[in-house]
Amino acid sequence: MTLIPFTPDRADDVARLEAECFGANAWSRTAVLASAAREDFVLFLAVDDDGRTLGYINGFFVCSELDICNLAVGTEDRRRGVGSFLLRGLLSWAKEQEIGRVTLDVRTSNAAAKSLYEKAGFVPCGTRRSFYAHPTEDAALYEITLPAGK
C-alpha cells in the first residue's frame, strides 16, 4: 500500500468511494475537483501495488489546525488497515506542516470509525446535535494535539 497525493485523474475514484461510503451525502466528482483545487485543502489516497485506489482521506487546514472532512475505504478493502494507514499518513503530513491540532466529526453510531480515531490518539471533545442528515444524527467531535517539531 502506498500513500499518494490526489491528482485530477483520480477524481472518478474518489467520487466512486464517496457514493459507496456516503450515499446521499456523497461529494460529486465536481465537488471533489473544486475542493482539491483549493490551497487550504489536502487529499491523499491509498493505492495498492496495481495502482487501484483503496481509500482516501481529506481535510481543510488553516494556520496550525486541520479539520478532517472524510475518510473513506471501499467496502471490499475494509478491515485491512487501509483507514489506519490513511490516518497515520495524514497526521504525519500535518506534523510536517507544523499543524498542532487536528479535529474531525463522526456519526455517533459509527463505532468502527470512533474506534479507529481513538486508537490513533483522538479524544472526544464535544457533540453537534442533529449535525448529519440522511438520516439525521448527532456528530461526535474529536481532536488530537500533535507534538511540536518535524
Is 109 domain-assigned?
yes
Confidence at residue 10, expressed as pLDDT on a 0 to 100 scale: 96
As a whole number, mean pLDDT of residues 109-135 equals 94
Confidence at residue 115, expressed as pLDDT on a 0 to 100 scale: 95
Summarize pLDDT for 21-34 with one digit per residue, the tens: 988 888 899 999 99
Percent of the chain with pLDDT over 70: 99
Confidence at residue 67, expressed as pLDDT on a 0 to 100 scale: 97
Map the chain to HEC letters.
Answer: CEEEECCHHHHHHHHHHHHHHHHHHCCCHHHHHHHHCCCCEEEEEEECCCCCEEEEEEEEEECCEEEEEEEEECHHHCCCCHHHHHHHHHHHHHHHCCCCEEEEEEECCCHHHHHHHHHCCCEEEEEEEEEECCCCEEEEEEEEECCCCC
Write out the residue range of the structural domain in which residue 53 sits: 2-145
Is 113 domain-assigned?
yes
Q: At residue 102, does pLDDT exceed 60?
A: yes
**Mapping DSSP to helix (H, G, I), strand (E, B) and coil, where does residue 45 land?**
strand
Is 150 domain-assigned?
no
Q: What is the CATH number of the domain that holds 130?
A: 3.40.630.30
DSSP secondary structure letter of residue 97: T
CA–CA gap between residue 13 and residue 79 (Å, rounded)? 20
Q: At residue 37, does pLDDT exceed 90?
A: yes
As for how many domains the chain has, the answer is: 1
